[in-house]
Copies of this chain bind each other. A is one copy, B any other.
Amino acid sequence: MTEPRRHIATQTGFLMVLRQGDDVFARLEALMREEAIPSAFIAGLGFAGHVTFGFFDYEKKEYAPKTMHNLELTNLTGTLAWKDGKPSIHAHGTAGDDSFRTFGGHLLALEVGRGSLEISVTVIPTRLERAVDPGIGANVLQL
């Protein structure tokens, strides 16, 4: 059986339709490599089987993570760029539970749940790199 297609080209980039079990970050990284995407702005929605949010702790220099399950991802917003020759994805998300309470933050990991997850990728023709800004101590997209 052939695996269903995960993306098509659009006027301004790509539309992705990811499916149950797909690792969203791995799929985006694969798309960046296959299609040689210099950089991009992304937006999406869908069903999250597992989502890990992280809030950066500047004292410990690490993200305090929390994983949640089976939420409707009401919005994903992010940018695709490169760092040290590798894809570098910056994405935030908001998600609602079965009582429509919402949770949100910086996304560390996201796996599609029962259903699908649709992402619009608007390609930017300039190759952009992320680098740690010494004054801020965080990765910043370099223009």
Render A75-113 as a binary contact track against B, CB cut-off 8 A, 1 for contact: 111110000000000111111111111111110000000
Q: A56: which B residues are within 8 A, CB to CB?
A: 115
- Contact residues on A (Cβ < 8 Å of other chain), bracket: 35 or more
Main SS of the interface on chain A?
A: strand
Count the copies: 3
Q: How far is the CA of A75 from the CA of B58 in the complex (A)?
A: 22
Q: Does A37 contact B (CB under 8 A)?
A: no
Q: How far is the CB of A49 from chain B (nearest CB, A)?
A: 11
Interface residues of A (CB under 8 A from B): 4-8, 10-12, 15, 17, 19-20, 39, 41, 43-46, 53, 55-56, 58, 64, 66, 68, 72-79, 90-106, 114-116, 118, 120, 122-126, 133, 135-138, 140-143
